[in-house]
Structure 1
Amino acid sequence: MTKTEDVVLFGALAFVWGTAFTAIEIGLETLPPLLFAAARLDIAAFIFIGAVLLSRIQWLPRTKADLVLILSNGILVIGAHFAFSFIGQSYVTSGVASIVLSVSPIITPIIAIQLLTTERIYLTDVIGLGAGLAGVIAIAIAGGSFDGQLLGVGLLLASAVVFALGSVLTERWTAVLPTMSLHAWSMSTGAVFLHAAAYAYSGASFWSVTWTPSAAAALTYLGIFATAGGFLLYFTLLNRIGATNVSLINYASPVVATIFGASLLGEQITIVTVAGFGLIVIGFVLCNIRSLWRLTRSTRDTAGSVQSLKRDEVRVQGNVYKKQTDSQNHLQPGD
């Protein structure tokens, strides 16, 4: 696959994940947030399960690591992440939602340093986290009120935190299951979690809501293209260009989301929101400066490949950390 094809795949992923926020905004006009999120995963899980069965790969969890990863991915990385983000977006625009969620790669290294290694936090991490949070705060008060806008941003920030926490915790385990099977189980677990949460939160079920053509179209797009198709694109790119390069999708998709939100939904793009996004990007660069520096020093022959790790290192979303020496906490790179 050529670099041009990599760029096309990256652009496709930015498009489907960016426009997903527009689809969510449309669906939230008539659908309860948690039920909407659960239905999105229902469709994606069905597609992944079908792919697993057709490919005849191993599908049954066999180890403790498989079960732990299914639960952590399903409940934290997918379930709680979608729960907070869908409810949060019901209070803010699609552009704001996408920008606030882009703070996740800033939070991830901070959590990883605390949980995966005895290494001290670098000054750049502290400054980067501060810059990112300053950007989120600026966006939170951009609407000129401290009610719905602030609540929505707070829920979206919680979504970014649980996503980062789940991503870091999964690095403690190495699955035996193939990636496709692991994510089929994880999405199914996330769907069950969200259906239970939706019923407990508001008593929502498929039979208690009014389905409109626009809501059905938004759900279909999210389930098939943004979730199933998006994850397939993501893992293809992860193998092609590496975790650090793929992490930049967090800053390409908000641009797409903001443009489509303004064009299709009439959402306003304020100077404060743009400035907040700029602070978040600066925070990302500072928190990932060591990984980005390694990337720039890689030779052209190996550009786009995943950087090799030493035996005492682990990678989390493009960041490389030293493992703890405690044999009970032995870490290996995850999928």
Structure 2
Amino acid sequence: MIATFLIQDGVTNGAIYALLGLALVLLFSVTRVIFIPQGEFVAYGALTLALLDGGKVPATTSLLVCFGAIAFLFDLWSMRRGTDARTFLRSLALNLVLPGVIYGITIVLAPLALPSVAKALLTILIITPMGAYIYRIAYRPLADASVLVLLIASIGVHLAMMGLGLVFFGAEGLRAEPLANDNYTIGSLMVSAQSLCIYGATIAIIVGLYLFFERTLLGKALRATAVNRLGARLVGVRTHLTGITAFTLAAAIGAVSGVLIGPITTIYYDTGFLIGLKGFVAAIIGGLASFPITAIAAIGVGLVESFSSFFASSFKEVIVFGLIIPVLIWLSLSGGFHEEE
């Protein structure tokens, strides 16, 4: 009986880690960025949903407008030597008009008693554009830098986003309302509707990513960039577009993860870092390259965490993060040396 509950808890947590691991593999494959702040999107999403549940306008809307304004200034600087009106208007629409519209929609809808699904969709709408703005501000100027430089930039972005989370959300933890309150009995096991939402969303995102990469032109462009960035650029793939797309998808996945995990645990401004690291463990086990192995490894991480919290709760985090040590040793012994690494 206890093992059954532990397995259910492990699979539920592992599904969230799978989403984060997939986002990390996607970003590293396309942009060579080890995106440490992925967990911040989770925290922002969960806290945004919790504030919407309370009928408040979440601070992330103001943060979104600030990010958009900074990205617009970056575009203006890059256009200082001359540009066409179309490029200027596109930058204006994406960086100023879009966040302004989202801000206005949120002000109108936040006080209303919206259904839980509507508030979840509004949360995803608020968080998703942040990925594109963060790429434009922090990573696009460093697109051709080494992996080490991009890693240092990721550390800086993580610290900045965590500090902004403290400023905009405060130090108090929040918990969102469940998307569904029902419970179902399967044999001797009781499964909550929220857990089923997590399983369903994870499967849907995995299938959606597969169809996106296999069936769409933009998805194939991302695959080409992941295989050979220089070669993709030589055949006409705009690597800036693929970078923005990858970061936008990662932000959307983080927002969905926050919406799913917000009702089952109390989220603080810095909670996302620990959650993101566990997704990073799964991504490392997958070699930062394989989506299926990363998803399977994430479930394994969730199961290890669940059982270790029961049998050795004081060493739970040590055991989970210790999983990457034998993997790193194996990769270092079996992989060839690359100058860029």
> Does TM, normalized by the shorter one, top 0.5?
no
Please state which band the TM-score falls in when normalised by the shorter chain.
Answer: 0.3 to 0.5
Larger radius of gyration: 2
Q: Structure 1 length normalisation: TM-score?
A: 0.33
Q: Return the TM-score normalized by structure 2.
A: 0.32
